[in-house]
Copies of this chain bind each other. A is one copy, B any other.
Amino acid sequence: MDLAFTPEQQEFRAEVRSWMEAHVPKAPLKTLEGREGFDEHVAWERELASGNWGMVTWPEAYGGRGLDLIRWLIFEEEYWRAGAPLRANQNGIFLLGPTIMEYGTDEQKAKFLTPMAKGELIWAQAWSEPNAGSDMAAIRSRAVRDGDDYVISGQKTWSSRAAFADWCFGLFRTDPDSKRHKGLSFILLPLDAPGVTIRPIRQLHGETGFAEIFFDEVRVPVANRIAGEGEGWSVAMATAGFERGLMLRSPARFQAVAQRLVALYRQHADTASPDTRAAVLQAWMDAEAYALNTYHVASQVIAGAHIGAEASLNKIFWSELDRSAHRAAMSLLGATAELRTLPGGKGGGEENAWLEGYIFSLSGPIYAGSNEIQRNIIAERLLGLPR
């Protein structure tokens, strides 16, 4: 065990820090869940790509830097330390990219990876269906083979980014007689293809980050299928594994939340209730624990370990930590917690990011496999309890 960064790692940190200090937008971008803010975030992706910081863990051949997970963690620490924006590109970086690298053909790699790294292709997920949420094997959307094409019909929902993204990836039933996990294929398609209709889902706070995607006989070349026909489930599970795992939930992001929460506490220390004070400290302690656990997992992955059901431990921990931290912030804000813009001095106040963050944090225990499902996985696969 060696918990010191090497001189090379320290130099890398210094390099990231200096780039971020020079490039991170001074003012916060508009929300990623509206058109204008989305475009601002895409512009930021291209800015990142211009510095070659977009996909730091990807191989250099595909526009990345080929960094290991420890450097990724360092990168993320500096990214969040600098207050940089959310990533419009995260479906591509962490979900689809690694999937194509593992299962894609050379042609698919060439066609998709480099544009993705450059922020030129923004990806949406197309997993869930109205009757296939936690139970993803209940997918009904079908892709019927017709020569060199699939003809896709059906409906997807809860597609994050789909309202504004360029392409989507998801599972479709290529064998109409199949049941559950069998007969599904993993297919990529452009969201401007004829027959695709996007209907943004109005979220409870009025934004439209999610969308429904309707497919009405959409023709997609068979070449857009990743891996073999009917092998979609295992490909998707690998993707879900990445998602549930550490890559999508950078510890530095939660440490930055905890840091802001501590600052908020200091502003409100004289009126904070004892349980909220305790909750603030707990949020900081848990963010630390999450960071340490991630370094531990990353070290194992670098050494060749495979992360399976252990990812469920992570999912539960970060989602409950994030909700608790934001709940504590709402308590600290008291009567102003409900306001979308916090009262400021002359010239008005700032957006109440804690309120938006609290609402978003409530989705953490739901998406990417609800925490109920995650607890089932832990109990059955890690502890060996009967199904």
Contacts and interface: CB of A to CB of B under 8 A. Distances in A.
Contacts of A275: 274-275, 278
A278 B280 CA distance: 14
A274 B328 CA distance: 14
A278 B273 CA distance: 8
Nearest to A278: B275
Interface residues of A, number: 5
A274 B277 CA distance: 7
Nearest to A282: B275
Contacts of A277: 274
Nearest to A273: B278
A350 B16 CA distance: 62
Given A275-B275, A278-B278, 4 more contacts: A273-B278, A274-B274, A274-B278, A275-B278
Contacts of A273: 278
Contacts of A278: 273-275, 278
Interface string A256-287: 00000000000000000111011000000000
Nearest to A277: B274
Nearest to A272: B274
A274 B278 CA distance: 6
The 7 closest A-B pairs by CB, nearest first: A275-B278, A274-B274, A274-B277, A274-B278, A275-B275, A278-B278, A273-B278
A277 B278 CA distance: 10
Nearest to A279: B275
A274 B282 CA distance: 11
A271 to B, nearest CB: 14
Interface string A158-173: 0000000000000000
